[in-house]
Amino acid sequence: MRKLPELSTRYQDPHRYPQGIAYQDGQYLPVAEAKVSVLDYGFLHSDATYDVAHVWEGAFFRLDDHLDRFFRGMAELHMSISLSKTEIADILHTCVALSGLKNAYVEFICTRGTSPSFSRDPRDAENRFLAFVIPFGSVANPDQLERGLHLAVTDILRIPPGSVDPTVKNYHWLDMVKGLYQAYERSAETAVLQDGAGHIAEGPGFNVFAIKDGAVTTPPTGVLLGITRQTVFDICARLSLPCEAAPVPADALRAADEVFITSTAGGVMPVGRIDGKPVGTGGVGPLTARIKETYWQMHGEEGYRHEVDYGE
């Protein structure tokens, strides 16, 4: 058992926030008290990278993979912080322990930071690290997980990878938000964007998979290389299901036998309807159900599980 540090107290915010703990400037504090400067280029220019891990039943899932991706993202964006992967892992474990949450959403961020002279040269800014933990959340709610999401294939184009590298997690979400509003106008629940060739890209915070004749396919480029996405490849290998990264035309997605989406926020989530029409026979397909079940079983396996010491 370890002794947990004391929480810092700054000031009360009149806005409501979920329960949680944050880390900022060497201090642990209630999530409602964590702030980013209005002069931080992460806020002003969306100049930041981040990653999201999750804790399930008191343990992180594939935390090392999330940390590897986070550090690669910082390198790609010419950012650096003084913390090592081991030190960040300890900070994240401590945030979760202080929160007491057994199922948690854990985000960690590097922003470009601020420049004392408000210089336009990004090299003059001091990069900053922040992290926070809040209760676990899902892209799909319990009802949607039971019946399958209603997905709209929008005509909004995903920002091309030649402009913003989607393999580096970022906050460039205005195309995603525009797609969501288009989906809502069609009475759908979430959206998927396309690339310039009419192929499926990704949705707001999730990868997309199609199953046709027992084969699983997900878009190969223009998407985040999600940790849950990789987990599906691992699961399909276990289950002897063919799984490949290959272009998925919009019409092929609509004609699939089964469709599901993946995200750290929710895991493997079925899609029941696309553009108002049932996917396959509708509901949750049998292969999707097997993949989803295996995904949650993996959370108990030693190689993927990193226990949190709550100091109890």
pLDDT of 57 reads: 98
Assess whether pLDDT exceeds 80 at residue 296.
yes
Q: What's the whole-number mean pLDDT along residues 37-49?
A: 97
Assess whether pLDDT exceeds 80 at residue 140.
yes
Mean residue pLDDT of the chain comes to 96
Whether residue 292 lies inside any domain: the answer is: yes
Chain mean position to CA 69: 12
Q: Which domain holds residue 289?
A: 142-298
Same domain, 162 and 117: no
pLDDT of 7 reads: 82
Same domain, 45 and 85: yes
The total of structural domains in the chain comes to 2
CATH code at position 267: 3.20.10.10
**Gap between the Cα atoms of 53 and 133, Å rounded:** 10
Chain mean position to CA 250: 23
At 164-219, the pLDDT tens digits run 999 999 999 999 999 999 999 999 999 999 999 999 999 999 999 999 999 999 99
Distance in angstroms between the alpha carbons of the first and the last residue of the chain:
7
Whether residue 310 lies inside any domain: the answer is: no
Q: What's the whole-number mean pLDDT along residues 38-65?
A: 97
Question: How many percent of the chain have pLDDT more than 90?
Answer: 92
- Which residues lie across from 216 on neighbouring strands? 211, 243
**Gap between the Cα atoms of 208 and 218, Å rounded:** 6
Same domain, 127 and 97: yes
Assess whether pLDDT exceeds 70 at residue 94.
yes
Q: What's the whole-number mean pLDDT along residues 243-271?
A: 98
pLDDT band at 11 (very low <50, low <70, confident <90, very high): low
**Gap between the Cα atoms of 233 and 198, Å rounded:** 24
Same domain, 130 and 189: no
Higher pLDDT, 151 or 6: 151
Q: What's the whole-number mean pLDDT along residues 101-122?
A: 97
Angle at CA 164, nearest 5°, toward 159 and 165?
110
Higher pLDDT, 64 or 8: 64
pLDDT of 10 reads: 64
**Gap between the Cα atoms of 243 and 228, Å rounded:** 14
Q: What's the whole-number mean pLDDT along residues 263-289?
A: 96
Q: What is the pTM of this model?
A: 0.94
DSSP 141-157: -HHHHHH-EEEEEEEEE
Same domain, 287 and 168: yes
Same domain, 45 and 118: yes
CATH code at position 104: 3.30.470.10
Whether residue 148 lies inside any domain: the answer is: yes
pLDDT of 222 reads: 93
Same domain, 171 and 30: no
At 194-206, the pLDDT tens digits run 999 999 999 999 9
pLDDT of 141 reads: 97
Same domain, 147 and 277: yes
Whether residue 13 lies inside any domain: the answer is: no
